[in-house]
Structure 1
Amino acid sequence: MDSRLILVSLLIVFIQISSTWARTNTDDATALVALKGLWENYPPSWVGFDPCGSSWEGIGCYNQRVISIILTSMGLKGELSGDLDQLSELQILDLSYNKNLTGNIPASIGSLKKLTNLLLVGCSFSGPIPDTIGSLTELVFLSLNSNSFSGGIPPSIGNLSKLYWLDLADNQLTGTIPISNGSTPGLDKLTHTKHFHFGKNRLSGSIPPKLFSSNMILIHLLLESNQLTGSIPSTLGLMKTLEVVRLDRNSLSGPVPSNLNNLTEVKELFLSNNKLTGTVPDLTSMNSLNYMDMSNNSFEESDVPSWLSTLQSLTTLTMEHTNLKGAIPASLFSLPQLQTVSLRNNIINGTLDFGAGYSSQLQLVDLQKNYIIAFTERAGHDVEIILVDNPICLEGPKNKKYCMTSQPDFSYSTPQNNCVPSSVCRSDQTSSPNCICAYPYMGTLVFRAPSFSNLGNSSYYISLEQRLMQSFQSHQLPVDSVFLADLMKDSNDYLLVSLKVFPHGQDRFNRTGISMVGFALSNQTFKPPPTFGPFYFNAEQYQYFEEVSLSPEPNKSSNTGIIIGAAVGGSLLVLLLLFAGVYAFRQKRRAERATEQSNPFANWDESKGSGGIPQLKGARRFTFEELKKCTNNFSDINDVGSGGYGKVYRGTLPTGQMVAIKRAKQESMQGGLEFKTEIELLSRVHHKNVVSLIGFCFQLGEQILIYEYVPNGSLKESLSGRSGIRLDWRRRLKVALGSARGLAYLHELADPPIIHRDIKSNNILLDEHLNAKVADFGLCKLLTDSEKGHVTTQVKGTMGYLDPEYYMSQQLTEKSDVYSFGVLMLELISARKPIERGKYIVKEVKIAMDKTKDLYNLQDLLDPTLGTTLGGFNKFVDLALRCVEETGADRPTMGEVLKEIENIMQLAGLNTNPESSSTSASYEESSMGTSSHPYGSNSAFDSSAGYPPSTVEPK
């Protein structure tokens, strides 16, 4: 017994040692943990913070980097995280068939430069498809069908030169089909794409002629069930690789281009339910045509075309309500593959005669509502003929079979495979074709353009079953058998087939098995027989996951198992002895690496100028002991404020300089690299209207920032009266001027430019001369040259000050700071919070404003303590409203705002030199009291913000 315990203990140690060898990249782990925090029903294996090392289900890794996320039919609930951009090595993202995944696709997805497969089929995502998808230049499969996306098709998709599959069908997309124009991309640039699937949307406008060219290799063009108008462009005839064309159920008009006859590879052609005019097109050369539907158009009256009899591959001819007249030539029915002829509601007359050699495949001839007066009946093949509402039935005997209609029977189900059905299946189980009770993975295969119409022909479904199993087996998927049933055609002429996939070797799938099968169907890995054409799968959520393997019942083989186990244990023991010698060394190296990863300053050697040292300008490193001394061991007496980040202490350096020491709480600390980035950024920001960083401490698990001490608190405290400082109109103009100077410096003179992202009265500090200083860079973003004027990032900031354009597009620009500054200007004149009692100051000003009246009729909104002399007030309000324009392009730059405020001050007869201000002692003061220090501001932790803790996000 003791030896067995020792063996088990050694085995546990071995497993623990092995688990330390896999460490997920920090950025990848952070991104997946963020996803986990937004989702419900994620796999139970998602525990800890090492997805690769802990083998999180659905997560594929290589060299500790996450390269795939495949979680089909998991029942996931929630939204996508903006932190997806941290998964820089991700190649496959498949979240298909999770109907409770909602919200928008974050614009940050454009940062996943290595993504090749983006598959979000059958979820409930909404909002616009982000334009940043056009940055995914490695993308091969883009399947966003069967969601609720709105807005237009992003023109930037035209940049995806490697794209093979583009499926945006079954959404709520609107607008026109984008084509290139100068520097603007468009779908005409997708010369290597083979699939355009845009059906069942709300696309409008005409089909652009420029969309098609002879150098494209498109094989599927699906535009059915939209709101397209105009004519079919003749350039469509240049696409000689096309195999499926669906333009039906639109409002297309005009004649069909004659060069459509050049599309000799087209097998399925749907032009029905439009407003097409002119003559019925001559399609003599389309020898590959299997399925043709031109019904419900406004073609000119014409005889049944003789060229129809030359289409040797034709299985289905549907030309209802197309003004066909005359007799049907008997040669039409001799086409060898012909299954269905539907020419209802035309002007066909004479005698219906199939001739002696009609096709053995023929199943249905539907000629309702025509003018046929006779029918030559022939013995032999049983063909369903419908002549209801023809003279032959209206005037003759009505008991003929062809004078009655019947519902077609398309029933089919996979037969059992020479086995005896089990009689002991549980009520929630299903017996498979191999007579095994199990919980199948279920859904519907939707075929968008099958080439046949005889749905009762079992040979088609047998070949489909065989192809499915061949595909699953060739990809080594855990599938025992498949079952097909419940055939039907829907209102879009899609063929729907119910599919059940049964697990192999057990009664249910685990999550990995479902993900593999789901991915094979969402990623088009499974290729159906050519007769079925393009498809997609609509899966149901799987509810029977095998969470724990059940122990086998005791039997005679248990002793053998013990023997085998002992042998394996002995082998493991030998391995353990080998590993024991290197274990201590590996643990030491691992600890060193962990220290280096968590502490980017661990290897600093300033005497040697190590490249790892942050590039600091004017800031120094403090030891924790130094800071303890200058704050009297962080005593409560020196505590001047606190917030979500941590506490702020007043301190005095040995030089006598007063400083504000911001000490992070353990739970709000950034990663070491992020902290390093922040101090590098702050150390190179030097401007009299920007708070200066004195230094930092990164020691003993502490993250501490040391700023210059700004004695008069925040603008918010002064406007609210808490600081005891009264700001009249002149002083508020100077505050606006100083704040604008600080922001203009960040936008136009800092290298690279800095977007603050959280401009508000709480982050504008007032020094001893009441000069404004921009503070709190916890949310700032750098704007590098490659980002062309904007940064795509998760939305962060404070509600009320937040730029609505940034909020909607997730594209951050300097104009986002301009918007926040405009709100700040309105706060300066009103002393009101941006959102107060449910009212938004921007809207309130716009509603009350009347330029024909004194002070623009804003007296009721003004701060009573402003005073009565308000020189330049109207121009100040005009400027503020320009800053809060809905569109960033309509807002001025901060440089322009600065010049405008300087002009306003000059018009008001005020000096624009900030040093001319009086000290705070010259202002009217009430009892100062004790107020929270601005460095301890909640920043993004304000209760009104509703955003996660602030973090510098370097680019």
Structure 2
Amino acid sequence: MSPETASTTYRRNHLFLLLLIGFISVVSSDELESLLNLKTALGESNTKVFDSWRPDNSVCNFTGITCDDSGSSVKEIDLSNQNLTGSIPFDSICQLQSLEKLSFGFNRLHGSVTEDLNKCSRLTYLDLGNNIFSGPIPDISSMNGLLYLYVNSSGFSGTFPWSSLENMTSLIVLSVGDNPFDQTPFPMQVLKLLNLNWLYMANCSIGGEIPAGIGDLTELIDFELSTNYITGEIPKEISKLVKLWQLELFANNLTGKLPVGLRNLTKLQRFDASTNYLEGDLSEIRFLTQLTSLQLFENKFTGEIPPELGEFKHLVNLSLYRNQLTGTLPPQLGSWSDFNFIDVSENFLTGQIPPDMCKNGKMTELLILQNNFTGEIPASYSDCKTLTRFRVSNNMLSGVVPSGIWGLPKAEIIDIATNDLEGGITSNIENAKTLAQIFAAHNRLSGELPQEISMATSLNMIDLSHNQISGKIPATIGELSQLSSLHLDNNKFTGEIPKSLRSCGSLSDINMAYNSFSGQIPAALGSLPTLNSLNLSYNQLSGQIPSTLSSLRLSILDLSDNKLAGPIPESLSVDAYNGSFAGNPGLCSQKVSYFRQCSPSSSDTSGVIRTVITCFSVGSAVILIFLAYSCYLKKKSQNDDEARSLKEDSWNIKSFHVLSFMEDDILDAINEQNLIGKGGSGQVYRASLKNGVELAVKHIRNSDSGHRKRKHSGKQKSLEFDAEVETLSSIRHVNVVKLYCSITSEESSLLVYEYLPNGSLWDRLHTSKKLGLDWETRYGIAVGAAKGLEYLHHGCERPVIHRDVKSSNILLDEYFKPRIADFGLAKIVQTDSTDGSTHVIAGTHGYIAPEYGYTYKVNEKSDVYSFGVVLMELVTGKKPMEAEFGENKDIVFWVCSKLKNKETVLSLVDSSIPEVYKEDTIKVLKIAIMCTSRLPALRPTMRTVVKMLEDAEPCKLLNIIITKDDDGKKKTDKILS
């Protein structure tokens, strides 16, 4: 080659190289711009992931970015789980021509996904799951090379573009569950995806039957179709899926038997078909030896539990409750593995409790209640230190309760009720630091209640009724500061009722009937702010009825058949307590007709003493007048001192609305003359302003709330105050009580509300004030209160669980419009909570949802239950607890027991409601029944409740109830369960 030719070739190659470099530079510049656009769109995110995304840095060095082998093009964007917020600019991202992976899962991304997503045609991996998008998923048919598609739990709605999947024949993972899509039959396009090994379609509104073609997806290792509207039988073709590791079909409407051939799924480790209508026996299960978790609860299975389950080496979770199973539990059950959980409650099982389920010391829950088990409680469970729930009630167990059971260090519930068990509660209960609930009623327990029970400081419910326990109640019981329910009735207790109970500030329910208690009724019981039910009947109590009981709002009061004497307090001499004082011949009353009239001569004093009294009557009158005047001066002085003390404090006012008053206007109202009520967390005063506006002021003394306080600025500050301020300060809703401001000092805290002149719904339904509360007014209260709760659950930035919904916490304005009030127990659901629930026992007896007796976890559905009780109050006019319902029965039980035919249903309606409105009341009663379903999952949301209250037609309800006997239990049980 000549020098000239070589030079020309060199120049040509050099020019080509410069052009190539220039081209690459242009491509890199475009990709940089696309990524910087993405950064800008998500720039408000609280994350450091974008710190490296700078124009002076190489795109391939950006955090979350992977380039191709040449380093010239972006191949992957993985920004999952980075706390990102904002909307994704797909129009910009999809300009990345080499992009194959796009992962934004587990963030808080919002907005709609535009059609521009379809331009990312080279993607093999797309993850938009676990975000808060809105609107439908657009057409993605261009992505025919997709291998992985995750859009689960992302808030998408509308119709999923199933037709887009037809050409995605290489798809390995399809995860579309947990989205509120429009209901659709099982999408047949899925059956063409023969390479699928992971199919997640749970909770996305799939209906119809599972097609037989599902058997063609032989590569599946995970198939989840739970919480949908699936009907029909499980197809026998499912037995072809021999690679299955997990099969989830729970919470559907499946019928029929477990298909023959299910035994072929020998690699199956997790199987859940619970909450369906499946029937037949469990014989196919005995071949699935690799099972670790078997969940078939709430079906109609019959026959025996296969004995082979006792040989399963890996089984750790077994849940078969609410079926019709018979026979025994395999005696070796759980003895091979780190067995964790068993629930076979509500069957017809017999035999003894397998002794070795906690052999490896890992068991947390043993639930076998409501069966026919016999024999003793195996002593081995005394050493099961991991147990949190031990529930063996409603069986035929006998023998002595192993002493170690009472001292299990992690136990939260011990439930041995309704058996034939003996022995006593032992002193090692002092080790049960987490024990919250004891249910031991209806046994033959004896001995005395040990002093050490006061060291189980988490106790909130104790039911030892119907046993043979004797001796005195330990005076230290007052140390159980969280105690809310105490049932000791039908035992052999003696001695006095401990005055220390006044320290149990959360007590709402006391039953000590049918014992041999003596002495006087402690006046201190009247200081229990939340006491709702008090039964001290059939004892040997003497002395007068304490006037302090008048300050309580009691649904149940029974002091009958004692030795009480003297006048019945005037405020208790009302029809609501008719019969509460019978069997006390020493009582007298000015109002109750069947008691003798109280008079100066009603005592047994002698004539001499009467003469002496007569002689000194004038002198006594003078002395009394003098003492009364002295007390008046002293009380006035105390009030003046208190007023001066309030004025002298340094106050900090925090307003939440525009205020038309000054701090002094409120402080001036804190005096005895303006007191209008007492609550669990403070006294309430009415403040009348000069401009005619009236306000309600809750006064909380920071040193008066005992165990409910925590340190704050060197003083004790009320947790109820914190909860109420945090909850109400940001709420703006016509059906939630308005909080104008908080005023705080070192010594006191004040909350200033709007004043509601018509009191509470409880007052209007259950006291003499109920006159004039017609059905139209009641219905309006129901709708308004429902809207207030709907706002708390669905309209706030973070859902608010009220936790004490009841008629006394629904206040009424001058037009009888309702306001939800008293947020001292409210809980704001934290955004990082995994289940949106809270572990606190709270509420009022009669309104508390049944899950309180089963688990600590409560959520919005617990409020729904309580609201259902309020609806029943509105319809029936009854209190949540009435003697006519039966012992330990509530209004929910009573209502459900009457749902037999149209006549018995109509008999539930308050007799004061005219006939013309009774059809309308039944509509509300139906909603109340659904709200009080035993299972939280079957209760509607408050959003649904509002819609039903506004739109439901009464005639449909009557059909549902009337056809119960004609159509069988299945339809009605779904409503009443």
Quick check: TM above 0.5? no
Q: TM-score range by the shorter chain?
A: 0.3 to 0.5
Q: TM-score, with normalisation over the residues of structure 1? A: 0.37
